């Protein structure tokens, strides 16, 4: 720093804006603005004020008045200086950003928009629910986009929502494919379809003919000899392969024969359920799982390793405090204080059971005392999009020695680090990393948007290893080098879903790291939980069937 006093800085800025600054003083104030964001901010404010006053003067009739003391040549020189200084500042900001993206002085708002391809996904429908479902091949989770090609449901029931609005409940053993938002091919099995008006004309293809909706609800039972069609409501059009098209109404059934004919159905309607009935059944099961999860929370609370445990559902509208339910550890975190975050629906469907952190500045403030030989954190989150360079999950104020940072990168990788003390870096090559970062693989994709998932991370001092987990399953495991191992982790003041740097205490500018989404449960343990314990936490807390 130059040691320039505030009064002198203001005089130089004013003379710059007035166009009277000398070349030597111009170089001095440019140097000050290069290294000090506060000087840049002061310059911008005085520049805005100057321009506002000039605009107001012009509006009040300044056009016809002589501009006292404003020599055209001097004004031209002043504007050139301003333009040159702004260009220099812009260049400095860009250099600062690319050299250190986390520098609050650079601010993400200063980053120019970069051309990037629009994100895409593939599929015509999603899986909206399943009951005791067993899939042939790779399991499909609730909320997943259904892949193209033949799918095989071995047993159980599932509900599929096509993008056209058609809802279908299938029960195993069924083989089928989603051909488009308006067409499904049934190779075998039973399907119950509910077709809304915008999707009129929806078609189910079978080997013995097609069923075309005319605004209705119907079931199809396909076997090797044909397909039984039962109309529950409205009417459908049948297209046998070897005979004329016919329409049948509610209460009527026909069998499409592989021979090409449509004949009377000899069997009764199969035991199917409508999409509405299916969802009611799922909701009852979810209530049972909620009851089991609520009872299991006692184990988390009383665990001597649990330092902080915040189930966000308080049952109190407008509550701005989160109670720390942990009671077994000698080192307990404080209750959480909610800042700006708004209440939202949790993963169990309860209103006001979660917090939405999409609003800028949203966070939960807490304090975690003591030193910890390793840590574990897990949370249930529903993310809309990763639209920040860093999307915060849990960050300490600043990033001092021995402190952990847990966040999600814009590119879909989960970020975790514990800052190594400077005293442990003696003798290192200056080029070596002083802040080891342990990334997960890229796990984010568009299909995860708006879905509740559980994330966890462990910093295991005993085994010198960092592990990331998604929905109870380990997704990465990285060794901690001896030189990077921090055996005593400290946290102190921290935030869930946002970040604070010490400079914010005096500088109103801050980087945007809050999470664009919701969270309804967060826990922090002293020490590393095992992979089996993480999986058990997920299974108990999962509101849906796998």
Task: Give 490's pLDDT tier (boundaries 50, 70, 90).
Answer: very high
| CATH (residue range 288-541) | 2.60.120.200
Residue extent(s) of CATH 2.60.120.1440 domains in the chain: 125-273
- CA 14 distance to own-chain centroid: 46
Give the phi and the psi of residue 87 in degrees, each rounded to 5: -65, -40
Can you tell me the distance from the alpha carbon of 189 to that of 175, in angstroms, rounded to the nearest whole number?
6
Can you tell me the distance from the alpha carbon of 257 to that of 208, in angstroms, rounded to the nearest whole number?
6
Instruction: Give the pLDDT score at 94.
Output: 46
Instruction: Give the pLDDT score at 365.
Output: 92
Instruction: Give the pLDDT score at 60.
Output: 54
Instruction: Give the pLDDT score at 62.
Output: 45
Q: What is the pLDDT of residues 272-287, one digit of tens each?
A: 889 999 999 988 988 9
Q: What is the pLDDT of residues 361-395, one digit of tens each?
A: 899 999 999 999 999 999 999 999 888 888 999 99
Other beta carbons less than 10 A from residue 392's beta carbon: 24
> Quick check: helix, strand or coil at residue 322?
strand
Sheet holding 321-322, edge to edge: 321-322, 336-339, 363-372, 489-496, 390-396, 404-409, 413-418, 437-442
Name the least confident of 40-54, 159-173, 518-532: 40-54
Q: Tell whether pTM > 0.75.
A: no
- Give the residue among 37, 35, 36 at the shortest CA–CA distance from 510: 37
- Give the residue among 185, 221, 189 at the shortest CA–CA distance from 203: 185
Structure tokens at 95: 């250099």
Give the phi and the psi of residue 413 in degrees, each rounded to 5: -90, 145
| Fold classified for 125-273 | Jelly Rolls (2.60.120)
Cα torsion through 529, 531, 532, 534, rounded to 10 = 60
Instruction: Give the pLDDT score at 176.
Output: 97
Can you tell me the distance from the alpha carbon of 538 to that of 190, in angstroms, rounded to the nearest whole number?
32
- Give the residue among 201, 210, 202, 214 at the shortest CA–CA distance from 229: 210
Span 431-448, average pLDDT: 82
Residues β-bridged to residue 172? none
> Got the DSSP string for 450-488?
T-EEEEEEEEETTTTEEEEEETTEEEEEEEPPGGG--SS
- Evaluate if residue 422 carries a pLDDT over 70: yes
Higher-pLDDT residue of 138, 157: 157
Contact 473, 141 (CB under 8 A): no
Mean pLDDT of the chain: 83
Q: What is the pLDDT of residues 77-121, one digit of tens each?
A: 455 555 555 555 544 444 444 444 443 333 344 444 455 566 677
Structure tokens at 498: 């946002």
- Evaluate if residue 234 carries a pLDDT over 50: yes
Cα of first residue to Cα of last residue in the chain, in angstroms, is 59
> Quick check: helix, strand or coil at residue 335?
coil
Can you tell me the distance from the alpha carbon of 212 to that of 207, in angstroms, rounded to the nearest whole number?
14
> What is the DSSP code (8-state) at residue 120?
-
Residue extent(s) of CATH 2.60.120.200 domains in the chain: 288-541
Which three-class secondary structure string do you get for 136-167? CCCCCCCCCECCCCCEEEEEEEEEEEECCCCE
Is the C-alpha dihedral spanning 485, 491, 495, 499 positive or negative? negative
> What is the DSSP code (8-state) at residue 287?
H
Name the least confident of 184-193, 227-236, 495-504: 495-504
Cis bond leading into 173, ω under 30°? yes
Can you tell me the distance from the alpha carbon of 331 to that of 278, in angstroms, rounded to the nearest whole number?
46
Can you tell me the distance from the alpha carbon of 336 to that of 339, in angstroms, rounded to the nearest whole number?
10
Instruction: Give the pLDDT score at 98.
Output: 42
């Amino acid at each position: 720093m130059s040691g320039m006093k505030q009064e002198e800085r203001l005089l130089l800025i004013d003379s710059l804006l007035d166009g009277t600054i000398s070349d030597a003083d111009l170089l001095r104030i440019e140097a000050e603005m290069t290294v000090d964001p506060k000087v840049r901010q002061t310059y911008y404010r005085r520049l805005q004020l100057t321009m506002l006053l000039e605009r107001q003067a012009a509006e009040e009739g300044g056009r016809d008045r002589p501009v006292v003391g404003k020599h055209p040549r001097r004004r031209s020189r002043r504007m050139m200086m301003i333009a040159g200084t702004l260009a220099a500042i812009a260049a400095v900001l860009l250099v600062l950003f690319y050299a250190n993206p986390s520098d609050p002085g650079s601010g993400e708002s200063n980053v120019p928009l970069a051309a990037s391809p629009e994100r895409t996904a593939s599929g015509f429908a999603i899986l909206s629910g399943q009951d005791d479902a067993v899939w042939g091949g790779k399991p499909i989770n609730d909320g997943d986009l259904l892949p193209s090609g033949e799918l095989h449901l071995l047993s159980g029931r599932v509900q599929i929502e096509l993008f056209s609005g058609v809802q279908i409940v299938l029960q195993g053993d069924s083989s089928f494919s989603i051909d488009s938002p308006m067409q499904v091919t049934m190779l075998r099995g039973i399907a119950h379809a509910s077709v809304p008006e915008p999707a009129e004309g929806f078609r189910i293809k079978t080997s013995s003919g097609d069923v075309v909706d005319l605004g209705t609800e119907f079931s199809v039972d396909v076997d090797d000899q044909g397909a039984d069609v039962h109309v529950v409501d409205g009417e459908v059009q049948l297209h046998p392969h070897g005979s004329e098209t016919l329409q049948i109404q509610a209460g009527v059934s026909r069998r499409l024969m592989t021979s090409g004919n449509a004949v009377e159905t000899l069997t009764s309607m199969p035991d199917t359920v409508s999409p509405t009935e299916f969802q009611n059944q799922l909701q009852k099961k979810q209530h049972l799982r909620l009851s089991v999860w609520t009872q299991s929370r006692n184990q988390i609370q009383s665990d001597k390793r649990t330092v902080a445990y915040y189930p966000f559902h308080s049952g109190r509208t407008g509550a701005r405090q989160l109670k720390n339910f942990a009671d077994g550890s000698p080192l307990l975190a404080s209750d959480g204080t909610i800042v700006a975050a708004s209440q939202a629906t949790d993963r169990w469907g309860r209103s006001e059971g979660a917090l939405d952190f999409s609003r800028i500045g949203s966070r939960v403030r807490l304090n975690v005392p003591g030193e910890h030989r390793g840590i574990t954190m897990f949370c249930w989150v529903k993310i809309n999009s990763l639209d920040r360079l860093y999307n915060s999950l849990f960050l300490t104020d600043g990033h001092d020695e021995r402190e952990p940072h847990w966040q999600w990168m814009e590119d879909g990788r989960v970020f975790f680090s514990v800052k190594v003390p400077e005293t442990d870096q003696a003798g290192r090559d200056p080029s070596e990393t002083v802040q080891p970062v342990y990334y997960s693989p890229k796990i984010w994709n568009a299909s995860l948007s708006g879905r509740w998932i559980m994330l966890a991370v462990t910093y295991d001092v005993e085994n010198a290893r960092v592990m990331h987990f998604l929905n109870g399953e380990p997704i990465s495991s990285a060794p901690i080098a001896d030189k990077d191992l921090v055996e005593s982790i400290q946290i102190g003041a921290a935030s869930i879903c946002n970040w604070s740097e010490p400079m914010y205490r005096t500088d109103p500018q801050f980087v945007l790291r809050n999470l664009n989404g919701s969270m309804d449960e967060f826990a922090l343990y002293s020490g590393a939980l095992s992979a089996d314990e993480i999986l058990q936490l997920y299974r108990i807390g999962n509101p849906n069937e796998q």
